[in-house]
Structure 1
Amino acid sequence: MAVRAVAWLHLWAATGLACTPASVSDAGYLILLGIRTTCSEIILRHEVLKDGFHRDLLIKVKFGESIEDLQTCRLLIKQHIPTGLFVDPYELASLQERNITEAMMVSENFNIEAPNYLSEESEILIYARQDSQCVDCFQAFLPVHYRYHRPHSKDGETFIVVNNPDLLMYCDQEFPILKCWAQSEVGAPCTLKNKDTCQWKNMKYKSVNKNVTLRVPVGLTVHTSLVCSVTLLVTILCSTSILVAVFKYGHFSL
């Protein structure tokens, strides 16, 4: 294909019909040379690790083009947290101190003790890191926890849907390949420590799975009387045991 294209170019040059912007478009010229003009896709994968009420959300991003020339770029993941989940800000601070993850909460007045039906959605900004095992891959790690849900009358479980995040990129210099993926610009902190606002490019990508769905076990309303009775009985027994121990082994002075 390339040999045939070169032959055509020599023929055009000899006849005075060399390509100009008016005669042949850049895309047609590249196609003639056998160079692919379509943009490759960014692939995003959501994974949920561990079992129980305490999970780890792992987000992996793979670029379709080599990013060796994009070493000055940073990747930011804006993850929406539904009401059925919460992120512990104290846990985030601990993970940052140990250099495990870099994330910050956007929402204010966040209550980690509130149940699902008294909570609001929140947003987390996660600064992704380049994967040491993949030159054109990034990944981000975020621990999430289930909130308490209302008991159901029949089904003993409910579902939480975690939507795919927004993928943001900021580069110190402009690269033509970014035009393939960029859709708009979004203002966000430049880094976790630098609170200055940078204009990040909102990138379009292809997700391996549409959304992440988590299954949460919940109580049944028919068990309300039994649970309340057992809880009250255990509370009375424990309180009585404490009082007996205090009067038996305690030292009182008037």
Structure 2
Amino acid sequence: MYLIFGIVLFLLADIGSCKDTLNSTVRYITEPYFKKYDSLLDSDFQKFIAHEVPLDLCELSQDKVDLAPRLSLLQRRLIGEGSHRRLSTSVRFDINQENVSVPDHYCEAIIIEKLPSGVFADPFELQHLLHHGVYTEASVFGDTNLESPSIQSNRSLVEIHMDVGSNALSGSKNELEINIELPIHARYPPLGERGYSRIEFGLPDLFTRCNVQRKSHIEICIFNSTVSATKALGGSIVWKVPSGIEKHAPIVSFFTFISAILSAISIVLVSVSHSNFEPDDKKQS
């Protein structure tokens, strides 16, 4: 009986502390998703965010809720040319200046980019930026094969953390703006009819994770910064990646075959003529 009673108490205590455990032990919000699902689907990911991420579960009074920065504006654009470009995101937060002096108060912005099919982010580039202090945390989840063409690859996701605490304040007294430039690369697209593959980027998911001082300990809280169309500037971002035209494939294959045959014949002729060539010093000897 004592053993059963002890087990019940242990389970109740474990359930009660589940929230804090999730907040404190999970380094990335999206990490548990890819332990449960093999690929990135928008419907599955939205269910995961709605039911498995501990959002707004902190037992805070109304004045404590103001400790979290509030999203006021989002602006996005593509930078660069060719198959290696940068996805630029500018995020503006409204922040309560009085909370800057709150002891042990720290907040970070979490940007989750669900990359469309045909685009990938290089994990080695992200680690380089992380090493130089551009981000506080950054990781790629999903399909991280850098060599696969678009038709053989799955979607990937990038989670980036940036400091929005007191050390990051700049500009207006009650505003905070952060800029993220994510290096992205286009995969080899399949053949099409228009000579390019159209890749469209959706809006990212934004969260704020803050350390909040309670009576006897610091509680880690995650807040959802909802992105609406009224807060997003720049409209839909479309990347037109050049691709081969399907009706040109037979002609290209024919000339490629002929070029390969001529190259092989040339190599054979050069090898034969070189083997019959004798240097002058050998003839004299």
Answer yes or no: same fold by TM over 0.5: yes
The alignment status of 1:52 with 2:82, answered yes or no, reads yes
Map 1:1-254 to 2 at 5 A: 42-65=72-95, 69=99, 72-101=106-135, 102-107=137-142, 109-129=143-163, 134=171, 136-153=176-193, 155-173=194-212, 200-205=222-227, 206-236=231-261, 244=270, 248=274
Q: Output one character per residue of 1:68-114: Cα deviation in whole Å (capped at 9) or x when no partner.
A: 7357110110110111211122222233333344420122x532222
Is the contact between residue 71 and residue 91 of structure 2 (CA under 8 Å) also seen in structure 1?
A: no
Q: Output one character per residue of 1:99-140: Cα deviation in whole Å (capped at 9) or x when no partner.
A: 344420122x53222222222221110123567864511122
CA distance in 2 between partners of 1:247 and 1:95 (Å)? 54
Any idea what SS the aligned residue of 1:171 has?
Answer: strand
Is the contact between residue 211 and residue 221 of structure 2 (CA under 8 Å) also seen in structure 1?
A: no
**As a proportion of its length, which structure holds more helix?**
2
Percent sequence identity over aligned pairs? 27
CA distance in 2 between partners of 1:169 and 1:247 (Å)? 72
TM score, norm. by length of structure 2? 0.56
Amino acid at match of 1:226: I
TM score, norm. by length of structure 1? 0.62
Is the contact between residue 107 and residue 163 of structure 2 (CA under 8 Å) also seen in structure 1?
A: no
TM-aligned CA distance change 1:224 to 1:46, over 3 Å = same
- Cα displacement (A) at 1:199: 5.1
How many matched pairs?
Answer: 187
Is the contact between residue 83 and residue 121 of structure 1 (CA under 8 Å) also seen in structure 2?
A: yes
Contiguous gaps of at least 5 residues in structure 2: 1-68, 214-219, 276-285
Contiguous gaps of at least 5 residues in structure 1: 1-38, 175-197, 250-254
TM-aligned CA distance change 1:64 to 1:124, over 3 Å = same
CA distance in 2 between partners of 1:104 and 1:163 (Å)? 19
